Amino acid sequence: MKKFNVGLALIAVAVCALMSFSPLNAYADSVTLTLASAPTSYGGEDVYPYNFNVNGSATTIPLMCLSLNNKIDFGESWTASISAISSFTGTTLTDYEEAAWLFNDANAAIAANNVTEQEDDQWAAWEIFATVTNPPDSGVATQYNAAVAAVTTGGGLPASFYQQFVIYSPTSGWPSGDGTPQIFIGENSFSGGAPTPETGSLILLGTGMLGLATSLYRRRRIA
């Protein structure tokens, strides 16, 4: 009877491990964001990257702003929910997929030291979620059109591309009294300020535990 109980326990643990560490659960449901450093200004607005401390961590992460009409202040903190892009539907899903393309392109522009394209990517992201009446240059329209084409042409990009990014939406706790903070997009590589678990390795561990549990159960049945 002991072997049977151990087997059942291992099966339960293995199933929980496999469920808990799926790609959609690889980050916390919500975090505290604190604006750690003000970004540079372009066209009269602060542009990507906005650097944030997450849950009080000393390490900062760069996020791209998606809400032009909202406002935040240096040092301000608030709680934000974290959502996978795949959790959105319809037009909103397309908007966030385009934002993901622009965020990824802005990072490539930074790596290539292409400051103008980096700044245009930020303005193009604002164009998706709000009408931008005075874009600083024609490159904003170019980047916006490139994002739309990437998402809508030929079936768009694979789901694995969008799984790299998450959306931070404010939920509570903005002390500055200047309205709801902005929505941001960032890489799905942090959970409460720490790197996310390596999902593949955790699934392998859970699978191994499940196999061991099954073996113990079979031995008990033979005995």
**Domain match, 99 and 153 both:** yes
Of 49, 54, 35, 41, nearest to 196 (Cα)?
54
**Domain match, 169 and 190 both:** yes
Listed range (20-29, 83-92, 101-110, 161-170) with the worst mean pLDDT: 20-29
Beta bridge partners of 61: 52
Listed range (18-32, 47-61, 92-106, 203-217) with the worst mean pLDDT: 203-217
**Domain match, 108 and 165 both:** yes
**Domain match, 191 and 201 both:** no
Report whether 209 contacts 215 (CB < 8 A): no
**Domain match, 75 and 175 both:** yes
Range of the domain at 85: 27-196
Confidence of residue 190 (pLDDT cuts 50, 70, 90): low
Of 66, 56, 23, nearest to 184 (Cα)?
66
Tell me, what DSSP letter sits at residue 163? T
**Domain match, 104 and 117 both:** yes
**Domain match, 106 and 181 both:** yes
Residue with the two structure tokens 């900062």: 60
The domain total for the chain is 2
**Domain match, 132 and 148 both:** yes
Residue 18 identity: L
Residue 46 pLDDT > 80: yes
Mean pLDDT, the chain, integer:
80
Tell me, what DSSP letter sits at residue 158? -
pTM, 2 dp: 0.74
| Distance, CA of 215 to CA of 71 (rounded, Å) | 58
Confidence of residue 202 (pLDDT cuts 50, 70, 90): very low
Length of the chain: 223
**Domain match, 68 and 153 both:** yes
**Domain match, 17 and 65 both:** no
**Domain match, 45 and 147 both:** yes
Report whether 117 contacts 42 (CB < 8 A): no
Kind of pairing between the strands at 184-187 and 60-65? antiparallel
Of 52, 57, 59, nearest to 77 (Cα)?
52
CA geometry: angle at 53 spanning 48 and 58, to 5°? 125
**Domain match, 48 and 62 both:** yes
Q: What is the pLDDT of residues 63-92, one digit of tens each?
A: 999 998 888 888 999 999 999 999 999 999
